[in-house]
């Protein structure tokens, strides 16, 4: 029987690439568990290979009178194996009791089936683990609590509500592309965490449609996105003979239109990168012309003037366009109508910006978490001066702190203000 089991293990090793040692360890655990159920007690069994044969070593306690032969051995028999063994000690005995062949055969089948399943699951997991950061295509299988379950063939994907674009809807059976955030192990196998809002989703879509991006000739430097509304993609060329913007747009807009269709009509601006902030901003707001510009390089602050009739267009709905411009340039950018671009207006805006920098609410980030600072700023407390005069109870409610702590924070804010005014 042991030779037959060994041959089966060797065959599985060849066909399924599962090491014989792993099968042997799993078999050892399985045979011990099965023996405990059949023979009672808590027998411990070690399996080894010696000279190409399988041997079963049972751990037994040395006793005077044996009550359970599967876990005990009398002292006389034990001393035939090891003359120095004493009562109460544990000794390993090569043992093959009645009915053990049947148990071994059943265990072999169970172990091999389970091990093959485990290995195949792990192989599938590792295969999809390598797809993290890639785009994958699947079919919508179900919708659960606003989350899409995506059938990928050998695995399932989960497109959570927070990773979906707000204006995209899918029906069961629809094909869908998504970015793989992470591959997780689950009871039923690998499950992929997916996204259609991640900036890298845009990068990968461009790589799929634009050969120059895929080959590294055109580099995508930044992506700023309001999912479902608008995206700005900043590109540069590693080849002076290749126009990166033209490569992404394609002949008669063919490439960019394919990408827009995949994004369900989301607007896309392809922006040419430049180390020169003036040229960079010109590309970032194109096709709108910049008529004049003020640049504060040390503070990364710019004021641009655009034609009066294009002012609303450059701002964008709810300020989206200029918000994306700020993200890709990492500059604070203000916009004026050309008719308002006067020395007096510029001076007023510069002073206002200097005050924002000097009295920045985020100087309190050592005392208040950034997420809480963002919350109170969204609630209308824009700077340190606003913070000092804000109602204590209102701040207690917003920050979840007691009044004493609020008074301490206000004193700290007041220190920053006084220090700033001393240097104005």
pLDDT of residue 67: 85
Rounded CA-CA distance 44/21 in Å is 18
Contact (Cβ atoms closer than 8 angstroms) between residue 362 and residue 373: yes
- Burial of 303 from C-beta contacts in 10 A (0-12 / 13-18 / 19+): buried
Q: How confident is the model at residue 373 (pLDDT cuts 50, 70, 90)?
A: confident
Structural domain range at position 36: 2-127
Among 328, 350, 372, identify where a domain stops: 350
Specify if 245 maps to a domain: no
Q: What's the CATH number where 411 sits?
A: 1.10.150
Specify if 407 maps to a domain: yes
Among 103, 127, 151, identify where a domain stops: 127
Rounded CA-CA distance 38/11 in Å is 28
* pTM > 0.85: no
Specify if 210 maps to a domain: no
pLDDT of residue 144: 92
Specify if 253 maps to a domain: no
Specify if 298 maps to a domain: yes
pLDDT of residue 401: 87
Domain count, the chain: 4
The residue-averaged pLDDT of 273-280 equals 95
Specify if 214 maps to a domain: no
The residue-averaged pLDDT of 222-241 equals 95
Same domain, 280 and 384: no
Closest Cα partner for 160 from 120, 195, 186? 195
Specify if 72 maps to a domain: yes
What is the token pair recorded at 384? 């340190």
Specify if 263 maps to a domain: no
Q: Position of tokens 């399985």? A: 30
Same domain, 279 and 336: yes
The interaxial angle of helices 403-422 and 392-399, nearest 10 deg, is 110
Same domain, 89 and 188: no
Q: What's the CATH number where 164 sits?
A: 2.40.50.140
- Burial of 411 from C-beta contacts in 10 A (0-12 / 13-18 / 19+): exposed
pLDDT of residue 251: 94
Same domain, 45 and 156: no
pLDDT surpassing 80 at residue 106:
no
């Amino acid at each position: 029987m042991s030779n037959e089991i060994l041959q089966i293990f060797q065959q599985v090793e060849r066909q399924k690439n599962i090491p014989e040692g792993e099968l042997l360890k799993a078999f050892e655990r399985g045979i011990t568990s099965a023996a405990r159920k059949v023979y009672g007690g808590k027998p411990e069994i070690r399996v080894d290979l010696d000279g190409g044969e399988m041997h079963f070593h049972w751990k037994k306690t040395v006793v005077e009178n044996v009550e359970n032969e599967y876990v005990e051995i009398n002292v006389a028999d034990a001393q035939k194996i090891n003359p120095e063994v004493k009562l109460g000690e544990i000794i390993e005995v090569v043992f093959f009791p009645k009915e053990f062949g049947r148990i071994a055969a059943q265990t072999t089948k169970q172990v091999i089936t389970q091990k093959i399943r485990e290995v195949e699951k792990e192989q599938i997991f590792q295969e999809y683990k390598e797809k993290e950061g890639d785009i994958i295509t699947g079919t919508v299988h179900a919708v659960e609590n606003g989350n899409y379950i995506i059938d990928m063939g050998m695995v399932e994907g989960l497109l959570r509500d927070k990773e979906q674009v707000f204006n995209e809807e899918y029906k069961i059976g629809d094909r869908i592309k998504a970015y793989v955030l992470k591959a997780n192990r689950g009871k039923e196998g690998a499950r992929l965490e997916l996204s259609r809002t991640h900036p890298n989703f845009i990068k990968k879509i461009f790589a799929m449609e634009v050969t120059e991006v895929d080959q590294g000739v055109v580099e995508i430097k930044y992506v700023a996105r309001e999912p479902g509304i608008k995206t700005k993609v900043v590109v540069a060329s590693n080849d002076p003979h290749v126009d990166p913007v033209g490569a992404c747009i394609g002949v008669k807009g063919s490439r960019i239109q394919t990408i827009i269709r995949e994004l369900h009509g989301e607007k896309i601006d392809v922006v040419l990168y430049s180390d020169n902030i003036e040229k960079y901003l010109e590309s970032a707001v194109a096709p709108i012309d910049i008529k004049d510009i003020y640049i504060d390089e040390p503070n990364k602050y710019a004021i641009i003037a655009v034609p009066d009739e294009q002012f609303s267009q450059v701002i964008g709905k709810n300020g989206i366009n200029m918000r994306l411009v700020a993200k890709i340039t990492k500059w604070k950018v203000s916009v004026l109508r050309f008719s308002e671009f006067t020395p007096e207006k510029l001076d007023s805006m510069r002073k206002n910006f200097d005050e924002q920098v000097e009295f920045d609410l985020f100087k309190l980030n050592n005392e208040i978490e950034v997420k809480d600072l963002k919350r109170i700023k969204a609630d209308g407390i824009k700077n340190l001066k606003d913070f000092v005069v804000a109602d204590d109870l209102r701040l207690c409610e917003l920050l979840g702190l007691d009044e004493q702590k609020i008074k301490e924070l206000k004193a700290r804010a007041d220190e920053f203000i006084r220090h700033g005014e001393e240097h104005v």
